[in-house]
């Protein structure tokens, strides 16, 4: 069973539809036992770090997510919340699973924030993504980013290079939205589900 964590975030239904398109049935749930028992877990999200972390703490989902041993995929805000803290909402403490900070884009040459649109991926040698995804376009909508670091497995560029995909142990994450990235996004979901 694939569990998609239901935590009051936007964009959750489009993740379910994307999974459906690749023939995968998933359950949208906030039930701790269902999430803990799932074969794979997807932690999607669109929203603000501060209010989302507060909701996760109130529901005990923060401790649950930290305790998961099966493959977990954080998407967009879900990726950022896996990190140490976010500059959003006055340095919000996050889940601390990936020891990196989430920083705000500071436009330098008239770039607009949020970064919205299609950007290419550059894969590292140890990426968990299919090699044919090198140079492919994925869809981003974000004002905050994670710098390149030891857990970066793919990067992209906006203002400067940043982490597009992360991995630490059983935690996988994408800054872009695979569910809105067409056939490329579908392949990324398949790559995660193959872990």
pLDDT value, residue 60: 97
Between strands 98-104 and 83-86, the pairing is: parallel
Global confidence as pTM: 0.96
Q: Structural domain tally of the chain?
A: 1
CA 132 to chain centre: 21
pLDDT value, residue 143: 96
Which CATH number belongs to the domain containing residue 94 in this structure? Answer: 3.40.50.880
Between strands 40-43 and 2-5, the pairing is: parallel
DSSP lists the bridge partners of residue 173 as: 74, 166
Tokens of 47: 């929203």
pLDDT value, residue 112: 93
Q: At what angle do helices 12-21 and 182-193 cross, to 10 degrees?
A: 80
Mean pLDDT by 10 residues, the chain (195 residues): 87 91 96 98 92 95 98 97 96 97 91 95 92 97 96 96 97 97 97 97
Active site residues: 76, 177, 179
Of 30, 4, 22, 55, the closest CA to residue 185 belongs to 22
User: What b/e sequence results for 142-169 when a residue is b if at least 16 CB atoms lie within 10 Å of its CB, and e otherwise?
Assistant: bebbbebeebbbbbbebeeebbbbbbbe
pLDDT value, residue 48: 92
pLDDT value, residue 184: 97
What's the Cα-to-Cα distance from 119 to each of 8, 88, 115, 164, 184, rounded to whole Å? 28, 23, 10, 10, 12
pLDDT value, residue 191: 98
pLDDT value, residue 47: 87
Please list the alpha-helical segments (H only) found in the chain: 12-21, 32-37, 49-58, 61-67, 77-81, 88-91, 182-193
- For 54, half-sphere exposure in the C-beta direction (CA atoms, 13 angstrom radius) is 6
Residue-number span of the structural domain to which 47 is assigned: 2-193
pLDDT value, residue 107: 86
pLDDT value, residue 81: 97
């Amino acid at each position: 069973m694939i569990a998609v964590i239901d935590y009051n975030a936007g964009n959750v239904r489009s993740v379910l539809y994307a999974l459906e398109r690749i023939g995968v049935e998933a359950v949208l749930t906030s039930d701790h036992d269902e999430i803990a028992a799932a074969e794979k877990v997807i932690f999607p999200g669109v929203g603000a770090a501060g209010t989302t972390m507060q909701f996760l703490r109130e529901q005990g989902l923060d401790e649950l997510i930290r305790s998961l041993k099966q493959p977990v995929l954080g998407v967009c805000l879900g990726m950022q919340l896996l990190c140490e803290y976010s500059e959003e909402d006055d340095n919000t403490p996050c889940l601390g699973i990936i020891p990196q900070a989430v920083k705000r884009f500071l436009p330098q040459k008239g770039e607009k924030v949020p970064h919205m649109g299609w950007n290419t991926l550059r894969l590292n040698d140890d990426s968990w993504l299919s090699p044919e995804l090198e140079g492919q376009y994925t869809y981003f909508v974000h004002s905050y980013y994670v710098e390149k670091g030891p857990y970066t497995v793919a990067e992209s560029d906006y203002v400067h290079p940043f982490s597009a995909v992360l991995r630490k142990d059983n935690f996988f994450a994408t800054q872009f939205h695979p569910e809105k990235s067409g056939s490329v996004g579908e392949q990324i979901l398949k790559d995660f589900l193959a872990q």
